[in-house]
């Protein structure tokens, strides 16, 4: 329990660990396989590795790392679309830093920048709007990325662009939505999950109601969790307690941030600007119905997909990559053939090695390599 020393409240962590051990021992596992709990959110994956929570848990519990890293699930074809837009001479392409190094089939945005494309890292879509304001002669495109956590910010920026008449500002919308994705995972034949840690900040926007089908229809427990190690342990304990008592409910451990109905203002902006796509292509998970949003016709002026002809082709991942299996939780990062050898944070082959929320980068950074060596 080396990492417990770093916890804010060591005693509480120790008590929770003891309770988790005891609960796990009491829950029957007729198949003999560990209980599989999926953390949906990449932020949780990061905290779990950062604090070594996985190593502290009894062997009867396995954390399955879900697809909740928006950079990681972008298919390569989408990165190529970004590069194609960025390479146009009239364009200033703006993006969050996380997306800069994600490999495309030809090059990443960072490589495109090195070769002369005007690619700029921004902290906020508002900064991209500022660039549009200051460069009326250029087309400024913002790479809209993320689940419901960042969706309202892009929507509000588009509304602001409209209000100011900044017609040289558009968004390449790659926002994705969590609920159909969880449903796809529940319907997947590869996985037999026993429960979920629900995403904290997505839920801050959408509330907890949209998850209710997970409990009522699929009869699986979910606990919406905060990001600190104690939050995660407590949420895990709550999931296990539900399993032991034979309950399947949506509980909210992160009520200090997550209201049951979400954030009305944020949802209003989202509803105004976006509509669901029929389907969206995910890296590794394939096409998932209604899992992405696009910009409504009324805001076509600010939709980069409409304004620029995009190659928009599907490109298979390199053969050596097993990002898809890792994303679905079927294999662990260190079981990928190229993990830590051909694929490292310095020379990433897959997006999961780029983003700090990606399971591979997190494993690599915090003991993943050590873990793999133990296994070899």
Partner 1 sequence: MCLGIPGRIVKIDDHAKKLATVDVSGIKRQVNIACIVNEDHPVNSCVGDWVLVHVGFAMSRIDEKEAALTLQVLLELGEAQAEIEAMRRTGKQ
38/243 with CB nearer partner 1: 38
Burial 87-117 (b: 16+ CB within 10 A, else e): beeebbbbbbebbbbbbbeebbbbbbbeeeb
Residue 19 binds partner 1 (CB under 8 A): no
Region from 14-22, 46-54, 107-115, 304-312 binding partner 1, contact rule CB under 8 A: 46-54
Residue 315 binds ligand SF4 (CB under 6 A): no
Residue 349 binds ligand SF4 (CB under 6 A): yes
Residue 50 binds partner 1 (CB under 8 A): yes
Q: Which 353-372 residues touch ligand SF4, going by CB under 6 A?
A: 353, 360
Least Å from the CB of residue 353 to ligand SF4: 4
Residue 224 binds ligand SF4 (CB under 6 A): no
Least Å from the CB of residue 43 to partner 1: 5
Residue 322 binds ligand SF4 (CB under 6 A): yes
Of 70, 207, 226, 350, the one binding ligand SF4 by CB under 6 A: 350
Residue 46's binding partner among ligand SF4, partner 1, none (Cβ under 5 to 8 angstroms by kind) is partner 1
Least Å from the CB of residue 105 to ligand SF4: 14
- Tokens read off for 97: 């830093």
- Residue 204 backbone phi and psi in degrees, to 5: -55, -35
Q: Which 65-94 residues touch partner 1, going by CB under 8 A?
A: 70
Residue 330 binds ligand SF4 (CB under 6 A): no
Least Å from the CB of residue 21 to partner 1: 24
Partners of 48 in beta bridges:
none
Residue 349's binding partner among partner 1, ligand SF4, none (Cβ under 5 to 8 angstroms by kind) is ligand SF4
Q: Are 190 and 328 in contact (CB under 8 A)?
A: yes
d(CA 144, CA 203): 19
Residue 149 binds partner 1 (CB under 8 A): yes
The binding track of 98-137 with respect to partner 1, each residue x by CB under 8 A or -, is x----------------------xxxxxxx--x-------
- Residue 131 backbone phi and psi in degrees, to 5: -65, -40
Residues lying near partner 1 in the complex (CB under 8 A)? 6, 8, 41-43, 46-47, 50, 70, 96-98, 121-127, 130, 145-147, 149-150, 152-153, 156, 160, 201, 204-205, 227-228, 256-257, 263-266, 269, 356-357
Residues lying near ligand SF4 in the complex (CB under 6 A)? 321-323, 326, 333, 336, 338-339, 343, 349-350, 352-353, 360
């Amino acid at each position: 329990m080396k990492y417990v020393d770093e916890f804010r409240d060591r005693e509480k962590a120790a008590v929770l660990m003891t309770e988790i051990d005891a609960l796990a021992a009491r829950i029957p596992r007729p198949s003999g396989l560990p209980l599989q709990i999926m953390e949906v959110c990449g932020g949780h994956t990061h905290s779990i590795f950062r604090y070594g929570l996985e190593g502290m848990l009894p062997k009867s519990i396995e954390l399955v790392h879900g697809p909740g890293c928006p950079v990681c699930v972008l298919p390569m074809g989408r990165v190529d679309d970004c590069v194609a837009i960025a390479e146009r001479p009239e364009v200033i392409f703006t993006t969050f830093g996380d997306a800069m190094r994600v490999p495309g089939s030809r090059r990443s945005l960072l490589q495109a920048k090195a070769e002369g494309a005007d690619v700029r890292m921004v902290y906020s879509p508002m900064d991209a709007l500022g660039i549009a304001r200051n460069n009326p002669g250029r087309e400024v495109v913002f790479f809209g990325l993320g689940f419901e956590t960042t969706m309202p910010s892009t929507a509000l920026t588009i509304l602001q662009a409209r209000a100011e008449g900044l017609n040289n500002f558009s968004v390449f919308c790659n926002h994705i939505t969590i609920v159909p994705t969880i449903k796809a995972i529940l319907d997947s034949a590869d996985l037999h999950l026993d429960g979920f840690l629900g995403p904290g900040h997505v839920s801050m926007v959408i509330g907890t109601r949209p998850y209710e089908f997970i409990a009522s229809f699929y009869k699986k427990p979910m606990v919406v969790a905060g990001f600190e190690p104690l939050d995660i342990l407590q949420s895990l304990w709550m999931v296990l307690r539900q399993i032991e008592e034979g309950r399947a409910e949506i509980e909210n451990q992160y009520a200090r941030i997550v209201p049951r109905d979400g954030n009305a203002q944020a949802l209003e902006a989202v509803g105004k600007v976006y509509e669901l796509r029929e389907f969206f292509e995910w890296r590794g998970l394939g096409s998932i119905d209604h899992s992405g949003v696009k910009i409504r016709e009324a805001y076509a002026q600010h939709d980069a997909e409409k304004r620029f002809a995009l190659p928009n082709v599907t490109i298979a991942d390199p053969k050596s990559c097993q990002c898809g299996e890792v994303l679905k939780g079927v294999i662990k990062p260190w079981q990928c053939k190229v993990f830590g050898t051909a694929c490292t944070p310095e020379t990433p082959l897959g997006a999961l090695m780029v983003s700090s929320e990606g399971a591979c980068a997190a494993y690599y950074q915090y003991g993943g390599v050590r873990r793999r060596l133990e296994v070899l």
